[in-house]
Amino acid sequence: MNINNFEFPREFLIVGAAVKTGIFQALHKEALTPEQLAQKLKADPRAVWVVTESLLELGYLKQTDNVLKISNQANSMFYNPESPDYNGFAFMHTYDLFTPWLGLPDTIISGKPYPKEKKQGPPKNFIRAMSHIAQKSAPNVTAYCLEGLPRKSKILDIGGGPLTYAREFVKRGASVTILDLPAVIDMMQPDLLPGEPITMLKGDFNEGLPDGPFDLIYLGNVCHIYGEKENRRLFQRSAKALSAEGRIAIIDMIRGTNVHAALFAVNMLVNTENGGTWTFEQYKEWLTDAGFKVKPYSEISGRQIITGDKQ
């Protein structure tokens, strides 16, 4: 993106505010005049008029005789899971992250993340966004991780609450135990279908892991949430919970290999105590110290994967 394009952040913030205040939801259900819309939302008529005028210009709404409707573009983005433009909750998750990012100047001075209690947005947006984002890469990533392991592998998916990877492992004959934080398990457990070979456990991996032995421990985008101490401990506990021929697989952005990994570390800086992105050499050292034989990392469907075998 051209950093001199000042329209872009304005569009992003206008669309986010329209989702948040229910403008799209109301106009998705029925066509309304700006005045009716303001009434329905119990919002200020002038503000609604100004914002809907800009949404019209941007193509998110359409208007016939003073009556507003959601456009095909906005419908595809927010309400049509079959559309390639559908973004699930990823857009709103990024919108929710704006507040901590605006605290970056304070974080640079203090070294502290944005205060948790001031954060915006329900974890629902985050978890649904993760679930949606993973859909494209999950088939190839899970096939890669399972290469050479027994067909009926037992897998521990740490931080796997969004369920996408677990379901792909199951399609390949595995049974999966998911360990995730209690709020996430409470939210996602009702999504489990009867008979799916997936067990969901509430817990904190910093406190311990379920008893194995597992054939594969899968760490999908969790290592960036914590620092060296926690990751080393997690790899050591993983080594203990794996069978003698077991494997660990880490999906994460590898620092030093692309610009996204460097920018994502800033996201972790404003959102976590000691999270960040780590180099391949750091992962290799931490994994080797925990007893794994580490392979060169691979890029599968846009994801970077590091694997280590116990033998």
Ligand X SMILES: C[S@@+](CC[C@H](N)C(=O)[O-])C[C@H]1O[C@@H](n2cnc3c(N)ncnc32)[C@H](O)[C@@H]1O
Which residues are known catalytic residues?
224
The pair of three-digit structure tokens given for residue 120, joined into one six-digit string: 């915006």
Q: Which of 27, 134, 198, 250 binds ligand X (CB under 6 A)?
A: 134
CA proximity to 19, closest of 98, 65, 78, 88: 78
**Of residues 38, 184, 217, 248, which one binds ligand X by CB under 6 A?**
184
Asked whether 212 and 184 are in contact (CB, 8 A), the reply is: no
Measured CA distances, 224 to 157, 235, 275, 277, 283 (Å): 16, 14, 5, 5, 11
Q: How far apart are CA 245 and CA 54, in angstroms?
A: 59
Q: Which of residues 231-270 bind ligand X (CB under 6 A)?
A: 251
From 45-53, 199-207, 254-262, 265-273, span contacting ligand X (CB under 6 A): 199-207
User: Does residue 300 touch ligand X according to CB under 6 A?
Assistant: no
| 168 lies in the binding site for ligand X (CB under 6 A) | no
For ligand X, the closer of residues 105 and 302 by Cβ is 302
- Segment 16 to 75, residues that bind ligand X, using CB under 6 A: none
Among 26, 222, 269, 294, binds ligand X (CB under 6 A): 222
The reply on whether position 130 binds ligand X by CB under 6 A is yes
3-class SS string, 220-270? ECCHHHCCHHHHHHHHHHHHHHEEEEEEEEEECCECCCCHHHHHHHHHHHH
Span from 4-12, 90-98, 175-183, 277-285 in contact with ligand X (CB under 6 A): 175-183
Residues that bind ligand X (CB under 6 A): 130, 134, 159-162, 179-181, 184, 204-206, 220-222, 225, 251
